[in-house]
A = this chain, B = another copy of it.
């Protein structure tokens, strides 16, 4: 199968069946995407429910033509498609194939398979950005306390070189994104709609900033609407993409608590919650998780969080590095910085910034990524090419 046929088939299947679809994912795993698509469209012996789901959506158009159109649209809006096998693919999301959840009564708890493809906007390479990442999520109707905690945590994580992942919503999500940006760090918004029309519109300025220095990511193709149930489907991706999920504030049985449950169900992910004053409705979900979800860790700030997720870093990071240790897939700025090194010679960020014309803040951010990817080594703020990363 050609790479292009695989990409088109994944986009088509994702559109026909919606992300996370159990049987769709199993068929892609068994047959590859093009044959899975062919079977669902043409093989009468194929699972009838899946065929019916696809047939219903096909009234809106031919799936492969639709996929072509979506790829065209993506190009127009500055979005790109990422599929398994791409250097940018964050391999850890494939852990969703073994997610362990309480027996689900609805499709949201059943259709939790890995994404077939991802759409992204922003120049940084997705896998590298997510290699050291933490999800910071919570209530839209956050209190002043919650907003302050999300801001502190987002800022401090970003300052320590961790990518802050969240859902782009009002309240806790937005506070965490904004704080990461303010720290000059990297933040990723994982959306439940097309990356060309991020929701909510009230956060448009925020999304534009994230696109400039971070990433907008979605399983849904450009143009897709943020339908209600999609947020709950999306949450599994936030949990799977990161090393741990922190709920800052949440009402009981809220979306953020559902994300925390996904983290519990995934291997090696740390589920964390920030305590708050008893009596605040927005801390009930956190306290409830700390009481009743065994293994939920209480965290009071970035230091606690790094202590929690750092312990599994040794397990997770090498695998991520393996998928991305390829100079050809670096973003432009990172590649220029790498070329500015002289073999065997130390370089300071200032020197590198001067050699490349890349501003100081971006230089530091790229160096953190290059260090994480194993291309360069950080000696207390002075950098050298790493042996394995050198040409």
Contact = CB atoms under 8 A, between A and B. Distances in A.
Nearest to A283: B275
A287 B291 contact: no
B290 A278 contact: no
A289 to B, nearest CB: 10
Contacts of A301: 278
B290 A298 contact: yes
Contacts of A274: 278
A258 interface: no
B276 A300 contact: no
B287 A275 contact: yes
What is the total number of copies of this protein in its complex?
A: 2
A298 B291 contact: yes
A298 B277 contact: no
A225 interface: no
A291 B278 contact: no
Nearest to A278: B300
A4 to B, nearest CB: 51
Interface in A276-294: 276-278, 283, 287, 290-291
A297 interface: yes
A149 interface: yes
Contact of A278 (B276, B278, B287, B297): B276
A300 B290 CA distance: 11
A263 to B, nearest CB: 17
A350 interface: no
Categorize the interface residue count of chain A. Answer: 10 to 19
A139 to B, nearest CB: 16
Contacts of A287: 275, 298, 300
A257 to B, nearest CB: 15
Interface string A285-321: 0010011000001111100100000000000000000
Nearest to A301: B278
A290 B275 CA distance: 10
Contacts of A276: 275-278
A145 interface: yes
Nearest to A299: B291
A275 B301 CA distance: 14
Interface string A124-145: 0000000000000000000001
Interface string A202-216: 000000000000000
Interface string A149-177: 10000000000000000000000000000
Of A149, A274, A298, the most chain B CB neighbours within 10 A belong to A298
Contacts of A145: 277
A277 B145 CA distance: 8
27 contacts: A145-B277, A149-B278, A274-B278, A275-B275, A275-B276, A275-B277, A275-B278, A275-B283, A275-B287, A275-B290, A275-B298, A276-B276, A276-B277, A276-B278, A277-B277, A278-B300, A278-B301, A287-B298, A287-B300, A290-B290, A290-B298, A291-B297, A291-B298, A291-B299, A291-B300, A291-B304, A298-B298
Interface of A: 145, 149, 274-278, 283, 287, 290-291, 297-301, 304
Given A149-B278, A275-B275, A277-B277, 10 more contacts: A275-B276, A275-B278, A276-B278, A278-B300, A287-B298, A290-B290, A291-B297, A291-B298, A291-B300, A298-B298
Q: Which 7 pairs from chain A and chain B are nearest by CB? A: A275-B275, A278-B300, A290-B298, A277-B277, A291-B298, A287-B300, A276-B277
